[in-house]
Structure 1
Amino acid sequence: MWFKSLVLLSALVSVAHCDPRLRFIFYFGSTQFIETAEFTAANLETLNAHPAFQRNIRTVMFHYGVGQSVSSSPVFDIITSYLFNREYNFVVVSYESNNVVSTDTAVDLAEGIATSLIRLFDAGYSSGNMNLLGFSLGAQIMARASRRVQAISNRRHIIGRLTGLDPFNIGPISALRIGRMSSADAQWVESIHTENPNRGDHSSTGHVQFYFNGGVSQPQCTQISPISRWDCSHDFALLYWSESVRSSVFTFPALQCGSWELYTSGACNSNSIGHVGRTTESNLRGSYFLRTNLSPPYARDTALP
């Protein structure tokens, strides 16, 4: 009886948080013939019945950053990379206005995503097969949504994988309200760092964290304006991830190490190697550092500095 009451309460909470701003766009087809199906917070569970949706494989749900949309160049690159890969169901959390996503709306948006996901899981899709992927503030929103899935469902549903692409530095005040990404947010949590501290947050980590070129700035970003350099380094998290998704093999080898200084000195050359990307080994723990090429393909063949 208590279980039925819990399920009913969960359903009532879900209905109460059907945020009308949320759109979930399911992408399928190919890079040449992209097809989409759109769902809302009120009917995401019907995604299970879509003929192109495969219920037994992993689903990646991606949330972009502030001021972006599905037509933004790096976001569209993520979309086409997953369509090229074709090993996953791929869904984008989207909004009609580019101005919706902010630290002021993050808590409500995460709540709407969480309750929508619970509807999907209660309809039969396994939460363990869900990979929440977020960039910038989108990473912090997805981290909170992942935590809320656990809390609202009383841990009946726990997200399988949470990936933060340069999680946004929301500052100490917003962090108290929104929370930061951590290893408690999902079964396995990874973070990718390309900028700090103006855009990226090195305090938002997971079971494993990867620092590209030290994680403070990217060598390809040589703009005169500091703001442009910060934005460029921040956005490179999307470019690196897209490249990893398109690869059919392990890519972006990195060395486990305590700091960038130790990595560049060669002190970690005998340490374990991990790989960044969709094929990342889920048993990795700790901090990993790596260098990249200055032009595509950015992934090097070696983890050595």
Structure 2
Amino acid sequence: FLGGLLSRFAYQTNRYREMKYFDKMKFKRVADWNFFKCFETEKRCPNENVTFWLYTRETENNPTQLSMFTPDTIRQAPFVPNRPLIVLIHGYTGHRDYAPNTSIRPAYLAYDEFNIISLDYNPLVLEPCYYQGVRNLPTVANCTAQLLDFLIGERMFSLDDIHVVGFSLGGQTSGMIANYLKSGKLRRITGLDPAKPLFITAPSQFKLDQTDAEFVQVIHTDVFARGILHPSGHTDFYVNGGVEQPGCNAQSMMTTGECNHNRAPEYYAESIATEVGFYGYRCAHWYLYMLGLCMANEDSMVEIMGAHTPNTTRGLYFLNANMNPPYAQGRNFSLRDEYPIPG
């Protein structure tokens, strides 16, 4: 009983802090953005602008919508028993058939049987409505937590079964889920180049950090533009320093930044089944790496990045990737034998 009261108190406290923080953001009035059809959704769940789609090997081409408006349809949905649940959250301007879904979802289902839920909150993050999109993220996180609490309460999954993978704004949203989840702390979150604009100075409860799950992994690929530089997880991997990815040297800075940013889900997708592996070596700080003061040698602490990263991994790791797929440059051995996907 006491635990329930404390959980409820923490939930309400986070809601209050969240409202105060986002209210301080200096956005134009929503009415000023009507020309672009920008809007802020009602802060309620379920929400018609936040939808959830279940994919399995059997339903990969015909996914099942999961709606908290009709909970019985969730109970009857074709979940695969005794298999993990992967939750994929897209970013700005995205949808359920946009990164990270297009690369990661088929990679998981080709590798093994999984339950995959792809979020779709596209109406809330339309271009050029980034500011309103950020203000809408707490509602996306709240509705996601509501669904996960339902699945856990129905004993369809446990906290240990669930892995949330978020890209860009979705990476920051994955951290906000912890503000609303009443069942406890998630086992694992992966942030794929979590978004930087409007999040650099945000309090920790409004962005992804290592308090949001038992294990938080972050992959950085565009720290000078769309992605955040600061370490956010129990372990952070900086691919090519997180600065410029090989093959992304287009003339347009906008195109280059998008390419760098989008490499994060591509690297993660490849990490699921690669026999080579993405291996990084440990360095105390990004600045030391950029100054050339961290060099890989026989004594370096080395760890694998991506779907197979052990939940016990800690620290900052640096690695290079190839210009074209396959991107991984690691050792040659079977990941299935030596690094199973943590569950």
Give TM-score scaled by structure 1 length. 0.84
Structure 1 pair 29–299 and aligned structure 2 pair: CA distance change class (3 A) = same
Of 160, 163, 175, the match for 2:202: 175
Match of 1:189 in 2: 216
Residue by residue over 1:141-167, the C-alpha shift from the partner in whole angstroms, topping out at 9 and shown as x without a partner, is 111013421xxx2xx421110100000
Of 107, 124, 131, the match for 2:163: 131
Per-residue deviation, 1:112: 1.5
Match of 1:284 in 2: 313
Unaligned runs of 5+ in 1: none
- Kept in 2, the 8 Å contact 1:194–1:215? The answer is yes
Give TM-score scaled by structure 2 length. 0.75
C-alpha distance in 1 between matches for 2:100 and 2:233: 24
- Kept in 2, the 8 Å contact 1:29–1:35? The answer is no
C-alpha distance in 2 between matches for 1:95 and 1:266: 42
C-alpha distance in 2 between matches for 1:213 and 1:187: 27
Query: Equivalent residues in 2 for 1:47-86 (5 A)?
Result: 47=74, 49-54=76-81, 56-72=82-98, 75-86=101-112
Per-residue deviation, 1:104: 1.9
C-alpha distance in 2 between matches for 1:7 and 1:43: 26
CA RMSD of aligned residues (A): 3.2
Q: Aligned residues: percent identity?
A: 26
Match of 1:115 in 2: 146
- Kept in 1, the 8 Å contact 2:90–2:99? The answer is no
C-alpha distance in 2 between matches for 1:66 and 1:233: 15
- Kept in 1, the 8 Å contact 2:193–2:220? The answer is yes
Of 218, 241, 249, the match for 2:245: 218
Residue by residue over 1:241-284, the C-alpha shift from the partner in whole angstroms, topping out at 9 and shown as x without a partner, is 1111233x572011111242366762555221111111111111
Query: Equivalent residues in 2 for 1:30-49 (5 A)?
Result: 34-43=61-70, 47=74, 49=76
C-alpha distance in 2 between matches for 1:57 and 1:40: 21
Q: What secondary structure, in the 3-state scheme, does the structure 2 residue paired with 1:97 have?
A: helix
- Kept in 2, the 8 Å contact 1:42–1:116? The answer is no
C-alpha distance in 1 between matches for 2:6 and 2:72: 18
- Kept in 1, the 8 Å contact 2:277–2:331? The answer is no
Per-residue deviation, 1:6: 8.7
**Matching residue's letter, 1:273:** V
- Kept in 1, the 8 Å contact 2:281–2:296? The answer is no
Q: What secondary structure, in the 3-state scheme, does the structure 2 residue paired with 1:187 have?
A: strand
C-alpha distance in 2 between matches for 1:173 and 1:222: 26
Match of 1:104 in 2: 135
C-alpha distance in 2 between matches for 1:43 and 1:175: 35
C-alpha distance in 1 between matches for 2:57 and 2:326: 25
Match of 2:48 in 1: 20
Structure 1 pair 123–7 and aligned structure 2 pair: CA distance change class (3 A) = farther
- Kept in 2, the 8 Å contact 1:162–1:188? The answer is yes
Please state if 1:273 is matched with 2:302.
yes
Residue by residue over 1:67-111, the C-alpha shift from the partner in whole angstroms, topping out at 9 and shown as x without a partner, is 112333663122211221224211101136374582121112111
- Kept in 2, the 8 Å contact 1:207–1:286? The answer is yes
**Matching residue's letter, 2:165:** L
Residue by residue over 1:214-247, the C-alpha shift from the partner in whole angstroms, topping out at 9 and shown as x without a partner, is 0122122111111111111001001111111233
- Kept in 1, the 8 Å contact 2:100–2:166? The answer is no
C-alpha distance in 2 between matches for 1:279 and 1:42: 35
Please state if 1:237 is matched with 2:264.
yes
- Kept in 1, the 8 Å contact 2:210–2:216? The answer is yes
**201-210 or 93-102: bigger deviation:** 93-102
Q: How many pairs were matched up?
A: 292
**Matching residue's letter, 1:76:** T
Query: Equivalent residues in 2 for 1:140-151 (5 A)?
Result: 140-149=172-181
**Matching residue's letter, 1:199:** R
- Kept in 2, the 8 Å contact 1:250–1:279? The answer is no
- Kept in 2, the 8 Å contact 1:23–1:41? The answer is no
Structure 1 pair 162–174 and aligned structure 2 pair: CA distance change class (3 A) = same
- Kept in 2, the 8 Å contact 1:23–1:38? The answer is yes
Per-residue deviation, 1:287: 0.1
Per-residue deviation, 1:28: 1.3
Per-residue deviation, 1:294: 1.4
